Amino acid sequence: MATLAQRVRTFLQSPQGRQLVDQGRRQLAKPENQRRLRGLFQRLQNRRRP
């Protein structure tokens, strides 16, 4: 039986996986989404500090 990592790697190499990765890259290129992610990371970092 394939490990989870192997199954993910196989999916990402498939046409459907490559399409999904391309879609994600296009979304990450948008300034609005970059701003949202920065805010999310900032909130997560602040939550870890005592």
Cα–Cα distance measured from residue 30 to residue 40, given in angstroms and rounded to the nearest whole number? 16
Q: Which of 25, 21, 3 is nearest to 12 (CA)?
A: 21
Residue type at position 38 = R
Cα–Cα distance measured from residue 18 to residue 7, given in angstroms and rounded to the nearest whole number? 14
Residue 28 φ then ψ, to 5°:
-70, -20
- Taking only the tens place, the pLDDT of each residue in 3-42 is 999 999 999 999 999 999 999 999 999 999 999 999 999 9
Per-residue tokens: 20: 């999904």
pTM across the whole model: 0.66
